[in-house]
Amino acid sequence: MKKIVDVSIPLGPVHPIFKEPCRIKCETFGEQVLAAEVELGYMKKGIERIMVGRPWQEVMFLAERVCGICSVIHNFVFIETMEKISGVGVPDRAAYLRVLANELDRMQSHLIANFSYCYTIEHETIGMYLLNIRETVMDMLEYLTGARVTCAYIVPGGVRFDPDAEDLSRIMKAMDEVERETRRYMDMFEYGPLIGLRSKGIGIMTREQSEFIHAVGPTARACGITVDCRSNHPTYQMLKFTPIVRTEGDNYARVMIRFQEVLQSADLIKTIIQTLPEGKIRGGGTIGRGETTHQGEAPRGELTYRIKSDTHGRIQEISIQTPSIMNIEACARYMIPGVTSIADVTSAYISSDPCIACTER
Amino acid sequence: MSLLQSLKNAVRQRSIHVCYVDTGSCNGCDIEVLACLSPRYDLEQYGIYVHNNPREADVLLVIGGVTPQWEDKLKMVWDKIPEPKAAISIGNCPISGCVFSRPLTLTNAPAKSYIPIAAEVPGCPPRPTEIIQAILSVAPLIFKDWEDRK
């Protein structure tokens, strides 16, 4: 890389706005950033090495701890992969309850991502409002599953706990409140002039660039690509799910799409509670031998598990592909170069909602 | 006790600046620390501020079983914090390694073999209230009469 460079500025690994350690090296000319490089490797725990050779009962809890923010979807996709290998069916009620837990988890993940963005652009007021409604969502997640973060709610052939009518009406009431509040803060974000100055037209990634770098999740959907693994999931198809797409491709679009998805998740949860079928929450089945690949949509994008297991359900080979690695690369390659100020580097980076813990595992 | 010392004690009790480092956790404890900021738990009513800058911190929250990259850097971050200071470890990972303490793992717990840890908050993850309680019960004890004891 031969360029006329004023100064090379490293950000991180301990930085006031980074939740997790990573280092962004920016090559700058004046205030303008010419190129950026993201250096990873501070969080490598070797979780896939630990998983190999262990029974699924143990790997289930390890899979949850790949990422603490989106722990339900890791649990969900791992268990669905094991069910696909062994041909275990799921009762209707359990399938709906799985989606209910997953959507609650997605809401809290999106709300904390938007909090981080608002905190980065120094708009703490909206950030604190968002954290407050996130607590309501976390309460409902705890109410349904028994834990705030790592809840292990989904097990092969069903789910752990069955909510009764009173529990469901409480979740319904909470969703009404969350929807009302989110709409209010979304309006604040949409029409705030200072927010617009810090967000609109900054960190732009075009559709072609996004396709080239294989961006996934809200980062790709903000550039106009209709990609969402939930469209292929049978339970979501029953709920008539359609992905939300925006076309601007800047910081503003990426944050707004997360707000819209929070509202969409609240709608999905309400539909689930209204149409929840009666019946058992756990079927039977044994985990057996096989090899398969399975995808699911994490809050940050497409999540893939490839698992090979033996006759006793022990994991022989496992590889996990998490969404953030593509989004971080898209960020370093297209979003950060071209921003006109160092202050926008961090906001462009946070707007793609990177999760270092699940990238490095 | 001098007047200056009693003044310092009073001020330090209600002004605790916190920095957190993630040395290879699953993010679960991170978001519980972030949840402490929310208006429901409201850290700032106790005079605790999360700055995430070691140079102006009093309390270091260590999260995660220590990965190879952090073995020397954790000490470096600790050295950057001005005296008086305290380190609190959050979650099971810095204590024992939690689920990552298995053969072939890359983490190298406990965190107290790298820096002196004043308090440990167990849990996977601990609740935000437990984190706030740990900070509030440990920090004033360590900062009290610091200059006199020195």
Domains of chain B: residue spans and CATH = 17-139 (3.40.50.12280)
Cα of A109 to nearest chain B Cα, Å: 10
- Residue A178 in domain: yes
Using one digit for the tens of pLDDT, what is the confidence trace for A334-353?
A: 888 878 888 888 888 888 88
Phi, psi of A318 (to 5 degrees): -150, 135
CB–CB of A327/A353 below 8 Å?
yes
Using one digit for the tens of pLDDT, what is the confidence trace for A110-133?
A: 999 999 898 888 888 888 899 999
- Residue A158 in domain: yes
- Residue A255 in domain: yes
What does the alpha-carbon distance between residue B70 and residue B77 come to, in Å, rounded to a whole number?
A: 10
Query: Domain total for chain A?
Result: 1
Using CA coordinates, name the residue in chain A closest to B39.
A132
- Residue A136 in domain: yes
Tokens standing for residue B29: 């404890």
What does the alpha-carbon distance between residue A118 and residue A126 come to, in Å, rounded to a whole number?
A: 7
Handedness of CA A156, A101, A298, A353 (dihedral sign): negative
Cβ of B40 within 8 Å of Cβ of A357? The answer is: no
- Residue A54 in domain: yes
Tokens standing for residue A262: 């929070």
Using CA coordinates, name the residue in chain B closest to A40.
B69
B25, B38, B52 member nearest A135 (Cβ): B38
Task: Kindly tell me if the per-residue pLDDT of A155 is higher than 80.
Answer: yes
| A55 vs B: CB within 8 A | no
- Residue A260 in domain: yes
Cα of A46 to nearest chain B Cα, Å: 6
pLDDT at position B30 is 87
- Residue A94 in domain: yes
Cα of B137 to nearest chain A Cα, Å: 24
What does the alpha-carbon distance between residue A140 and residue A147 come to, in Å, rounded to a whole number?
A: 10
Task: Kindly tell me if the per-residue pLDDT of A14 is higher than 80.
Answer: no
Cβ of A45 within 8 Å of Cβ of B70? The answer is: no
Cβ of B40 within 8 Å of Cβ of A44? The answer is: no
* Domain enclosing residue A350, as ranges: 46-324+341-360
Kind and range of the H or E element at A267?
helix A251-275
pLDDT at position A4 is 60
Q: What is the DSSP letter of A61?
A: H
ipTM score here?
Answer: 0.87
- Residue A27 in domain: no
A21, A46, A148 member nearest B106 (Cβ): A46
Using one digit for the tens of pLDDT, what is the confidence trace for B7-66?
A: 888 888 888 888 888 888 888 888 888 888 888 888 888 888 888 888 888 889 998 888
pTM: 0.91
Cβ of B67 within 8 Å of Cβ of A68? The answer is: no
